Structures are given as C-alpha cells and as structure tokens.
C-alpha cells in the first residue's frame, strides 16, 4: 500500500515538473515574441515619422488635419479589433474550463 502511494506521489511530481518545463518554454517563446514586437514597433514609429515629415513638406499642401483624423480612426479600429480578440480568447478559455 505504501509503495503504491509513493509511486502515485512520484508520478504526480513528475507531471508537475513536466508542466513547469512546458511553462518555462512558453515564457521563453513569449519573451522572444515580445522582443520581435518591440523591434516592429520601433520600425513602424520610424516609418510614421518619416512619412509624416514627407506629407508636411509636400506641395501643394496636404490637409494634415484629414490625415490625423484618419490615423485616429484607424487607431480606434485597431483598439476595438484587439478588444474583440481578447474577448474571443476569454470566451475560449472559459469554454475550455467547462
């Protein structure tokens, strides 16, 4: 009986260790993804600054207010899209629990 209990405890510990290893790999993968996203953000910000400088310097003058409004609208659409994806992920997580 004690041997069986000991085997069960050892098996549970092995499973917990495997779960920790899986989580460690996931953390490493996510850190890499964050690093990639930061580089992408820097590139996008640089491109935006250059394009904005080009638009302001164009002749005939470009309506920068219109462009700013379009940028703001695009940002709002992106925020809403991100919120939708987050809600869909939450729903998936909730449905997986049941």
Decide if 55 contacts 64 (C-beta within 8 A): yes
Tell me what pLDDT residue 39 has.
93
Decide if 21 contacts 28 (C-beta within 8 A): no
Q: Could you list the mean pLDDT of each consecutive 10-residue stretch along the chain, which spans 98 residues?
A: 90 91 84 90 90 82 84 93 88 72
Tell me what pLDDT residue 97 has.
65
For the chain, give every domain's residue range.
Answer: 1-57, 61-97
| Run of H or E residues at 52 | helix 2-56
Contacts of 62 (CB under 8 A, 6+ apart): 55, 56
Q: 45-55 in b/e burial notation, b at 16+ Cβ within 10 A?
A: eeeeeeeeeee
């Amino acid at each position: 009986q004690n041997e069986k209990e000991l085997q069960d405890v050892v098996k549970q510990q092995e499973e917990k260790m495997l779960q920790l290893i899986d989580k460690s790999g996931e953390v490493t993968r996510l850190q890499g993804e964050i690093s990639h996203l930061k580089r992408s953000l820097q590139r996008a910000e640089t491109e935006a600054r250059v394009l904005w400088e080009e638009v302001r310097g164009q002749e005939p003058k470009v309506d920068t207010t219109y462009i700013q409004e379009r940028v703001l609208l695009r940002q709002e659409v992106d925020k809403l899209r991100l919120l939708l994806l987050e809600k869909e992920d939450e729903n998936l997580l909730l449905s997986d629990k049941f």
